[in-house]
Structure 1
Amino acid sequence: MAAATIKDDLAGQVPPRRLTKTELLKTHKTHIKKQDLAPDAPRPVKQPIMSDAYPASTKLIRDVEIIPLSELRVETHHRGKGIVVKVISPPYIGAGSVSIVEDEFGNADKLAIYNQGDSSILSGVPEGCFVAVKEPYYMHNGGENDYMICVDHPSDVILLRFTDPIIPEALRLGPLLKSAEEWRSAGDKAFLERDYPTAVFCYTEALEACNDEAQNETTIKLQRAIYTKRSGTNLLLGRYDAAKADALASRTGASSDWKAYYNAGRASYGLCEYTTSREYLEMALKLNPAAAAVRKEHERCLARLREEETGEYDFPAMHAALNPQTAVHLDNGSFLRNTTIRESKHHGRGLFATRNLQAGDLVFCEKATLMPNQYEPSRASAALYAMMVRQLCDNPSLAGSVLKLYPGPYEEQLTGAEGTIVDGVPVVDVFMVEGIRNKNCFSLPLATVDNTKPSSPDDRMAKGLWVHASHMNHCCVPNTMRAFLGDMLISRATRDIKAGEEIFQQYVPIKALADLRNTGFKQGWGFECNCFLCARERTLSSTGMLERRKEALAAVEKACNKRPINMKTGDGVGIVPDAAIRTVDRLAKQLEDLHESEVYDVLPRLTLIYPCNWLVEAHRGRKNHAKAVKYGLKVLRNFGFLSVPDSESVEWEPRDIYTKSGEASLMTVHVVAGLRKLAEGYAALGRKEMAERCVEAARFGYMIVTGFENDLEILDQ
């Protein structure tokens, strides 16, 4: 019988037969043997399928009814129920951790735990441990009589203490170790073996054992020493919230507390809370002024605070420090004070300027909230999703910013309890996380400046989340442009922006035709763009004219593509016959005439950019410099730079395109390339001053495109 049929037929029912404990353990052992043959195989990530979405449990384990495994029903989310089981096998590690478990009645089943980070012992629960699963989902696993308990939400499963009273008497063996000293020693051993999750577990048991013992000076001293050990271990795991709490709990009131403040400062630094970090580090220095490590950390923290305050960065040094294998996460702070988040008339919340900004100004520079070092496109989305889930579990303070982002249609399924602490862990709904990732992440190269090189591959893209930048709304002709250096997002103004004005970005490179680009926006983000360009095209340009433009665009592109150009390099046309040039020129003129003057006199004419660029290259190839300049000017005007003259003989100021072109100009690297070609044409015509002005404007534009000043010659590499 097909798996889909079994699911449908048995949905909501207790299975007629489950595999016995002996059968389950036998099959499980064969999987473990295969795992042992490939211990270093990369671990896949199970990304959620949104059509299968279900909410995370928000109940306390003690508020649900504990049921035996024998009552689990197929394809059912057992709301209001829970299970308490003992792990009776080693874990099989794949996309998740699969173990065989047993309840107090001797029933056995398969438990698959997904979306646990490497910092959690639940990513591979050791044999002999006890776990509780809240509101378990029981599913058919594809084979005959093959079922399993599937835990997608990391907060739906709890690792229980061995002495937890919720463990049934029939399962209870008592603690494996009895004293706090024994648990601390076990933690020390795990730490030396670099099994940090187990070390944290043992130190936690040690602290609980301290609470169970008589409180005296010796016990308190031991307890504070264990807090120190657990704090340092949590720092290594990147669990900064817990590391900070443990560090502060380890304080004794003595001068030796400098270590506690040092660890608290390092944890705060890991959370990018530099002001708090400075305060703790200064407390550490007050207690131990000679501590070189503290002083070094303090100086590093002050450098981040200067960046946050001034927006002054050594971008060339940051670029030089990048290494695709080891250094994509730069040690820099976020400069955000030029912008603020508030309600937008366009879509929900948006970013707004807090002061007047000029074209080219740094609008903000933000360090990624979350960004994995994975530049393989087929793996980048899964890597970001896995990192988001792990960090939200490891550092609950992130929930305050990350979980406020728009998760798409899944928003209707949320309870409002996501991110709150229940049973000692934050509620993390993986479907909400995936919705947020899908609607708010950015694709990025290692460095935008390197990605402008003709020789750079276009497909090496990572994905990351920048919470502040995620609040920016889309505009097809935005007033800012973003660039990347490792995990730093640099936003610069493409034209002057007034204080209080909303700041926009372009979500993706836009299509020339309004209906096509808005179809993409609806499918990807669920909105129809109402920017200056789209609104005027939609309301003032007739449907009939739009269809005629489509036909004319198809005809001119067909003619151009007989001798295509590479839009990244500008090369590929070669020496073009006069007849071919005349054909494209005629078709481009027909397309131009299909743009109503009353609509497009103040708008870019995006459909004309490719044919005009083609004509620039065609005339360059024939060394017809006057015509190359003529069509180069048209390229800029078609990008919406209305200060550009119609005639190639007119003197003009190229830098004015950034300040005198209105709200519908579109800045791209192709504008920089266009200015360089104009400079070449003017120089060939003996107009040296105009050539120099164009180069200066291109250099300024390249700074906007790449985020910082760079040599234009990079575009030729």
Structure 2
Amino acid sequence: MAIHGDLVGTVPSRRLSKEELAKTHKVHLKKQDLSPDAPRPVKQPVMSEAYPASTRSIRDVEIIPLNRLRVETHHRGQGIIVKVISPPYIGAGAVSLVEDEFGNADKLAIYNQGDSSILSGVPEGCVVAVKEPYYKHNGAENDYMICVDHPSDVILLRFTDPIVPESLRLGPLLKTGDDWKKAGDTAFLEKDFPTAVFCYTESLEALEDDNLKPPIHTKRAGTNLILGRYDAAKADALASRTGNPSDWKAYYNAGRAAYGLCEYRTSKEHLEMALKLNASGSGVRKEYERCLARLREEEMGDYDFYAMFSLLNPQNVHLDVGSFLRRTAIADSKHHGKGLFATEDIKVGDIVFAEKACLMPNQYEPARASAALYAMMVRQLCDNPSLAQTVLKLYPGEVERTGAEGAIVDGVPVVDVFLVEGIRTKNCFSLPLSTLEDTKPSMREGRQAKGLWVHASHMNHSCVPNTMRSFLGDVLISRATRNISSGEEIFQQYVPVKPLADLRNQQYKEGWGFECACPLCDGERQSLESILEKRKEALVAVEKVCNKKLPSKGLIPDASIRAVDRLAKALEDLHEPEVYDNLPRLTLIYPSNWLVGAHRGRKNWSKVVRYGIKVLRNFGFKTPADESESWNPMDIYTESGNASLMTIHVVAALRRLAEAYEALGHKDMAKRSLEAAEFGYMLVTGFKNDLSGMDA
């Protein structure tokens, strides 16, 4: 039943009673028991319904009773304090029945809490505060619910917090600090780590003797390490120091926490202190050596890519490596906001940077990958507030900022889920398990994960970029596709470039809100509109004759080859020399590739050479005007100017040239073409690989 517009903003005349709520809730709980191990869905935000997270403390708002909540309203400047009176029903969120100090009851739905938080399924009897709550109509008559989207809008209150009304307390708190510690130990043994953290926190608050607190900090540090809450683990580890030699464990835990945050220099300092106090500790020495290896990678960019590749499998996509970023720096760009710039001269083929993902779930099903990344981003920003310093500064599209994103309020960082989703959609990358495997015919199609690389996210787009990215698990490798000078802006290709300028720029406007000003797009704007329309028509005609399919093995009829050749020449004539003299001709790539395949099937090797060279030319590379001319294919990487486009199709064309030259008896040219193909394959896959695995 849809809610009437005249009820919006009003207090409902009737709500479901506590008994009615309990009856319905029990039905849901029974359904939940039937499938306790079912994967938990994620509620991704609907961007058209965006509203900001609360930035106020619960102590700075007016606390109101549940019966004052108004329909479809965000109660700015107000808050509620309620006790949970039912077990949670776990779905996309956790739905519980709650009661305020006046006996009013309602439903509370808490979304976007990670498994590390006790709020992901608040136990019965806990007291929570909701800041500036949103009261939602559920569709059925008299059925409403308090809906909490932003994880920082709900606070788990300590039982002794003076803000908790007396009637909501559990009664006299008989537990001492030692009782809470024992409860935490029990929860830990039961692997209920969020509850263990809660109990250890209560123990620390109850203890009056500071000398008794270090062991509790140690326990909480270890539990937070298990939960991946590295900021809190590091703080607890350092708080557990006593000034005695046993402090080696405090520094060891602090070092492990810093390592988890990829703060390798800080990790090294803490681990050195641990070794100073415990030189014989083999575990500490092992962590220290691992940390030194990450620092070498950060400084030198010296990676064993073959070893990294050998470790990859669907269950192990997160590689233990450091990020090599020192050749680049983030600065203001004349194109769009911030950009990435070279801090030194970089030669074609060299690593520009290699970056381990800040956040990347192991989820390669496209239908689930986006939701998995969104959920991970929210959880990690809540669990490790230090991430906010980098992640929440990224471009979020049209989502408005409050300026308080990431600020600690009521002990938790302000996390706006709509801002997070905006950042995800504008900055994430789609990726295979490895780019190398993705070039092979045996690769299963459609397997794409999504991840966030903060440094790489600052790169602006160009249709003819000077770098090419590849992936090994959660590591992004960026290599120079031509020589880059110190101070030059570094560009990447956001998505595969469409042949027609208007279509690709429409994609950029819809996806990122910009119009491309790369040399190719700027050059193509000089073409007459009438020419552009004729080019579209000619491309459609070519694709129709070719059935939008490149030739496989077998003979293509001469008539078909002549038809495609004729249409390709007509299309070529629609590219004005004054515009395209040094630019790619993207609409010609498909027919040129098709003709390479067709002539190869007929073993017409001289024609394979002719059209293979045309493929390279149409990608913007400098090639000989006459295919009989002697040339070095490796020169395409250094003498083609700033408007060439490197793709796997360039590698394929070079391989075909090598094959054709070999068949024609031009051994030297075959060798040079193969060398150029191998070099290009390194650019595509990220490291040197054997071409034999490519799809023939």
Alignment TM-score, normalising by the size of structure 2: 0.99
Q: CA deviation at 1:169?
A: 1.7
Q: Is the 8 A contact 2:88 2:121 kept in 1?
A: yes
Corresponding position of 1:355 = 344
**Deviations along 1:519-577, whole A, 9 cap, x unmatched?**
00000001000100001111x11111101111111111111117x21xxxxx5263111
Q: Deviations over 1:113-160 (max 9, x none)?
A: 000000000000000000000000000012121100000000000000
Q: CA deviation at 1:699?
A: 0.4
2:460 alignment counterpart: 473
Q: Which residue pairs with 1:423 in the alignment? A: 410
Q: Deviations over 1:444-465 (max 9, x none)?
A: 0000000000221230000000
Out of 653, 656, 660, the position equivalent to 1:681 is 660
Matches within 5 A, 1:618-637: 618-637=598-617
Write the mapping of 1:22-41 to structure 2, written as runs, cut at 5 A.
22-41=19-38
Matched with 1:158 is: 155
Residue identity in the other structure for 2:376 = M
Q: Counterpart of 1:508 in 2: which secondary structure?
A: coil
Task: Tell me the residue number matched to 2:580.
Answer: 600
Contact 1:48 1:434 in 2 (8 A): yes
Does 2:688 align with 1:699? no
* Other-structure match for 2:84: 87
**Rounded Cα–Cα distance in structure 1 between residues aligned with 2:532 and 2:37:** 57
Deviation, structure 1 residue 358? 0.8
Establish whether residue 561 from structure 1 lines up as the match of residue 555 from structure 2.
no
Counterpart of 2:313 (choices 323, 335, 343) is 323
User: What is the aligned counterpart of 1:575 among 555, 558, 579?
Assistant: 555
**Offset from partner CA, 1:345-372 (integer Å, 9 cap, x none):** 0000000000001110000000000000
Superposed, 1:161-310 pairs within 5 Å as: 161-174=158-171, 176-210=173-207, 213=208, 219-310=209-300
Residue 518 of structure 1 corresponds to 505
Asked if 1:100 is matched to 2:90, the reply is no
Gaps of 5+ in 2: none
Give, in whole Å, the separation in 1 of the partners of 2:192 and 2:168.
Answer: 27
- Letter of the 1:552 partner, please give it: A
Alpha-carbon separation, structure 1, partners of 2:35 and 2:499: 50
Work out the CA distance in 1 between the residues paired with 2:109 and 2:168.
20
Corresponding residue SS for 2:642: helix
User: RMSD value over aligned CA atoms?
Assistant: 0.9
- Give the superposition deviation at 1:177: 4.4
For the residue of structure 2 that corresponds to 1:170, the secondary structure is helix
- Is the CA contact 1:482–1:705 (under 8 Å) kept in the aligned structure 2? yes
The question of whether the paired residues in 1 share the 8 Å contact of 2:464 and 2:518 is answered with: yes
1:163–1:175 Cα contact (<8 Å) kept: no
Looking at structure 1, the residues matched to 190 and 625 of structure 2 have their Cα atoms a distance apart, in angstroms, of: 73
Check whether the contact 1:7–1:75 (CA below 8 A) recurs between aligned residues: no
Q: 1:216 — aligned with what? A: none
Residue 593 of structure 1 aligns with an amino acid whose one-letter code is D
Structure 1 window deviating more from structure 2 (173-182 vs 618-627): it is 173-182
Cα distance between partner residues in 2 of 1:422 and 1:675: 59
Matched residue, 1:386: 375
| Amino acid paired to 2:308 | M
CA distance in 1, matches of 2:159, 2:442: 59
1:314 alignment counterpart: 304
1:690 matched to which residue of 2?
A: 669
Letter in 1 for 2:692: E
Q: Is the 8 A contact 1:669 1:705 kept in 2?
A: yes
> Aligned match of 1:51 in 48, 53, 64?
48
Which of the numbers 641, 655, 658 marks the counterpart of 2:621? 641
Deviates more, 1:66-75 or 1:25-34: 25-34
Moved more, 614-623 or 335-344: 614-623
**Contact 2:439–2:695 under 8 Å retained in 1:** no
C-alpha contact 1:329 1:486 (8 A) present in aligned 2? yes
- 1:529 has 2:526 as partner: no
Q: Distance in 2 between matches of 1:457 and 1:647?
A: 40
Q: Which residue of 2 aligns with 1:456?
A: 443
Conservation of the 8 A alpha-carbon contact between 1:7 and 1:74 = no
- How far apart in 2 are the matches of 1:165 and 1:238? 31
Could you tell me the percent identity over the aligned residues?
76
Aligned length: 696
CA contact under 8 A between 2:651 and 2:678: conserved in structure 1?
Answer: yes
Q: Distance in 2 between matches of 1:191 and 1:178?
A: 18
Q: Where does structure 1 lack aligned partners over 5 or more consecutive residues? A: 214-218, 566-570
Quote the Cα distance in structure 2 between the aligned partners of 1:318 and 1:334: 14
CA distance in 1 between counterparts of 2:286 and 2:655 reads 46
Q: Distance in 2 between matches of 1:307 and 1:322?
A: 19
Residues 175, 339 of structure 1: CA spacing in aligned structure 2 closer, same or farther, 3 A cutoff? Answer: farther
The structural deviation recorded for 1:514 is: 0.2
| Distance in 2 separating the partners of 1:475 and 1:696 | 27
Which amino acid counterpart does residue 312 of structure 2 have in structure 1? L
Output the CA distance in 1 between the equivalents of 2:210 and 2:102.
Answer: 41
Give the TM-score normalised by the residue count of structure 1: 0.96
Corresponding residue number in structure 1 for 2:646: 667
Counterpart residue identity of residue 529, structure 1: C
Partner deviation per Cα, 1:478-500 (whole Å, 9 max, x = no partner) = 00000000000000000000000
CA contact 2:125–2:170 (8 Å) conserved in 1? no
Q: Does 1:486 align with 2:444?
A: no
